[in-house]
């Protein structure tokens, strides 16, 4: 059974940092692209960042320069380091896994999703 479990969310003040982790099991982690998405109340789910099996990275314009995605295949874990957080970053953050080789900004490319972890940034 495939399972993705996010952790590391919480409450942080504006300008602060958090590191999210996503541990995967039940799939060949190293051959999957991994992505992070987020959804705020009343808004559509949006792409945040992705890392391919070849370690190419992709970021939404809103987080470039502030967020960093990375993966550790030996630990079956993908990370999202979030710096310089602002209230607009508040959302439930979801980890996802994809087999495809492109289109990583589209949620339709991802086959498996985690349960989400809440990130709240106060002013």
Structural contact between residues 20 and 115, judged by C-beta atoms closer than 8 angstroms: no
Q: Per-residue pLDDT tens for 55-102?
A: 999 999 999 999 999 999 999 999 999 999 999 999 999 999 998 777
* pLDDT value at residue 119: 98
Q: Decide if pLDDT at 32 tops 80.
A: yes
Taking the C-alpha atoms of residue 13 and residue 76, their distance in angstroms, rounded to an integer, is 30
Q: Decide if pLDDT at 7 tops 80.
A: yes
**Which residue, among 20, 7, 5, has the nearest Cα to 85 in the 3D structure?**
20
* pLDDT value at residue 56: 94
Instruction: Give the Cβ contact number of residue 82 at 10 Å.
Output: 25
């Amino acid at each position: 059974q495939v399972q993705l479990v996010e952790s590391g969310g919480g409450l942080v003040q504006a300008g602060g940092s958090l590191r999210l982790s996503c541990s995967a099991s039940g799939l060949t982690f190293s051959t999957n692209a991994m992505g992070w998405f987020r959804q705020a109340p009343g808004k559509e789910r949006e792409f945040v960042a992705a890392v391919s099996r070849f370690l190419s990275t992709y970021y939404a314009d809103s987080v470039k320069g502030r967020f960093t995605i990375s993966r550790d295949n030996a630990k079956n874990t993908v990370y999202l380091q979030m710096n310089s957080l602002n209230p607009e970053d508040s959302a439930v953050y979801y980890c996802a896994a994809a087999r495809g080789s492109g289109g990583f900004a589209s949620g339709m490319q991802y086959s498996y999703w985690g349960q989400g972890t809440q990130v709240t940034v106060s002013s």
